Chain A
């Protein structure tokens, strides 16, 4: 590993100050499950200062409010898996997290790290985006909240400034009448990187028609998005296998309009359509 200075600030205001002083020469360390691999690559450009926030307890935990749920960024994947609040109000996030890495990775890796690393295969991002999550960024200059849908620029790049740190993720609670699901296609069960995933939420009216639909594919687009074209197909309709299949084909069509035809398209084109259909069926 290349050399760097290391500091573990005791208070968050010291983190703001360090990030302001070192700016792009500083690197935040949380769970380390992505960063340590990165720092060991021979090609890695080494940060001057590694700022270890892993023991700042104020940045850890899941809290339920009347209408929303707040997750602090140092909450580990295991914490999310064990949370009753998440199980009740964001079951698709729980499903997603259960597929990340291995128990050892889930014990150490954090939701904030997963978001800020911004790999296209990050499994917490599509469910959070389907949940209409907001992220809060803080720095010496103040704070701002950004809808997650506007947060990512491209793989491994977000709109967060080098002096900013993610301090909270919050999303509205899913109503009990909503059904949600996360399904992932990996090459094996454990330690599988997402080749494709689908996060879907469906809510039906008393008359059984689809009132609300959200579909966010993972590892499929240059940056995550809700597929509103497919969501619109579903709204106001009665759920059926044909309807869900049509929504799946629409997602496939939209994906190709963004990515073009590349070596993996022959596979991904039919598979993403089927995954969407299966996800919507699971939301019944």
Chain B
């Protein structure tokens, strides 16, 4: 199996990678690059735990073949915060207790980011559709919806 060379940007950092072609974007991120924030759940596109942004659009990284990101931009949950400064959405998830076990959180955040980047003031229905491909088995959906809807609320202190 011939390796493939790809040029890609992951979390604003440029990479030139030589990879086996039979690798998903999810495995590339977690196992080759060590970005384990993106979670591996069902691996058939049903749970959304592996959601990342590909050129700003939410996709299941388990359903993208790694060589397909040649020339494309990827953003994972690790790319949301700027240094020690959490992204406002991350702050909002904390404020609203929208994180329980945390397994779905990276995917939820990326789906929510895609929504808010294209539609800064979504209705509750639009939020529900935007996260409809992300399963939360702690069933804390309401807090997640609230966190996305009130994402400008400053975090509680202390």
Contact = CB atoms under 8 A, between A and B. Distances in A.
Interface of A: 1-6, 8, 29, 31-33, 36-37, 39-40, 50, 52, 54-55, 78, 101-105, 107-108, 189-191
Interface in B1-22: 1-2, 4, 20-22
B51 interface: yes
Contact of A2 (B2, B4, B22): B22
A29 to B, nearest CB: 6
B129 A32 contact: no
9 contacts: A6-B22, A52-B65, A54-B68, A103-B129, A104-B58, A105-B45, A108-B64, A189-B132, A191-B133
A78 B132 CA distance: 14
A105 B60 contact: yes
Interface centre among B23, B43, B67 (most CB of A within 10 A): B67
B132 A50 contact: no
A6 B4 contact: yes
A37 B111 CA distance: 21
A108 B59 contact: yes
A8 B70 contact: yes
A102 B133 contact: yes
B64 A32 contact: yes
A6 B65 CA distance: 10
A234 B132 CA distance: 38
Interface of B: 1-2, 4, 20-24, 43-46, 48, 51, 54, 57-60, 62-65, 67-68, 70-71, 111, 114, 129-130, 132-134
A33 B67 contact: no
B65 A50 contact: yes
Contacts of B20: 3
Given A33-B45, A37-B45, A37-B63, A4 B21 contact: yes
Contacts of A5: 1-2, 21
Interface centre among A2, A33, A102, A105 (most CB of B within 10 A): A102
B67 A104 contact: no
Which 9 pairs from chain A and chain B are nearest by CB? A102-B133, A6-B21, A190-B132, A3-B1, A1-B22, A104-B133, A104-B60, A107-B57, A36-B63
A71 to B, nearest CB: 19
B105 to A, nearest CB: 16
A40 B65 CA distance: 11
